[in-house]
Amino acid sequence: MATKAVNNQRTEENRRDHCSMMASRFRGFLPVVVDVETAGFNSQTDALLEIAAVLLRYDDKHQLYPHETLWTHVQPFEGANLDQASLAFNGIDPHHPFRFAVTELEALKKIFEPIRQSLKRLNCTRAILVGHNPAFDLAFLKAAVDRTGIKRNPFHNFSTFDTATLGGLAFGQTVLARAVKAAGIDWDNENAHSARYDAEKTAELFCKIVNLWGHARSIG
């Protein structure tokens, strides 16, 4: 019983340590990696078709890692534009029955609720979107929030982390596939351009850069 109590105490101490690290590392912000797939480039008129978000954590060695992926297909909102060139590029059939897509409102609830729980658990004030083209992803998220009237968007209204810039700094590559490969991370072209795959690879890239920078600071 004494051993179990000690282990429980260590587990709780580790949890508090991880929470403190996340809250302090990014000035109270919780980085959440996001990728969206859409039927065009205009967030006001073009359909949002997929959302993926990757939650991050610190491990026992103080290394940031992808912890959980949230992901869903999204039904085009009523009157949404479907640009055929964009659909040909990402390979999405918005009306395919096996997409099992949900409404924008359901999709945002599915993505936002675990993020809100993580904010509370990790003592962070706001989520900050991490993306390879974060202005694009954030614009589509905000447009969907406006259309659905959903309350309490967990993401900062305009601040983001840009892995294209970070990839250029760390590895000399700004294209996602090239930056990922330069970082020594596997990349599969067949799976690219799905929100889930791109978000998970972006998350791996972001964690690799943050961990390398942490190492550089510790020996600098």
Catalytic residues: 193
102, 72 Cβ separation under 8 angstroms: yes
Enter the tokens of residue 50. 């997929």
111, 53 Cβ separation under 8 angstroms: yes
**Collapsed DSSP state (helix, strand, coil) of residue 141:** helix
User: Minimal CA–CA distance to 50: which of 3, 111, 97?
Assistant: 111
150, 142 Cβ separation under 8 angstroms: no
